[in-house]
Amino acid sequence: MKRIAIYPGSFDPITLGHVDIISRALPLFDELYICISNSSKKTYLFSLEERKQLLIDNFSDTKKVKTMVNAGLTVDAARSVDAKFIVRGIRTNMDAEYEKSMDVMNKALNNDIETIFLFANPTLSSISSSLVKEVALLKGDVSSFVPKNVAQALKTKMG
């Protein structure tokens, strides 16, 4: 039986922290779906298609990585690709508390899916998509926080 996992997030934009979690999760699974959230309640800098393309560009040489879009429950997205695992990255104690609550809820919705927590690399733990967007908006250099293609996309988007 294949070990399939999903890694959900908005990825607006993908950061080096995300890349690190994905890279570290890959050896654990046969397939890893990067599950892009798209909520009508949220405002995104990059469109769904732009976020998807940025992810594809970063992992085009990795056959185990696939992308998918999700507007519903994470457990339903996992079920749709036969994933038995959800990968989550933890940067801070606040993340840990939030993720613990999400894990309890996901278990109540589908007890067959296990959440795997990976702690952020300490050198990347302060990076968040929100902070990256703020730095880019203020014309700061984001090249040490995001992949090269994302830095270029941010520069183009912010003018």
Per-residue model confidence as pLDDT tens for the chain (159 residues):
899 999 999 999 999 999 999 999 999 999 999 999 988 788 999 999 999 999 999 999 999 999 999 989 999 999 999 999 999 999 989 999 999 999 999 999 999 999 999 999 999 999 999 999 999 999 999 999 999 999 999 999 987
41 is catalytic: no
DSSP assigned state of 121: P
Backbone angles phi, psi at 59, to 5 degrees: -125, 25
Q: Is 18 known to be catalytic?
A: yes
* CA 145 – CA 120 distance, rounded (Å): 13
Instruction: Tell me which of 2, 42, 60, 63 is the catalytic residue.
Output: 42
To the query of whether residue 139 is one of the catalytic residues in this protein, the response is no
Q: Which of 37, 51, 52, 129 is catalytic?
A: 129
CA distance linking residue 4 with residue 71, whole number of Å: 20
2 in active site = no
Determine which one of 51, 52, 88, 91 is catalytic.
Answer: 91
Instruction: Using DSSP, state whether 38 is helix, strand or coil.
Output: coil
Q: What is the pTM of this model?
A: 0.93
Selected catalytic residue, list 18, 51, 52, 88: 18
pLDDT at 66: 97
Q: Give all domains of the chain, ordered by start, each with its CATH number.
A: 4-124 (3.40.50.620)
3-state secondary structure of 44: coil
Q: What is the pLDDT of residue 132?
A: 96
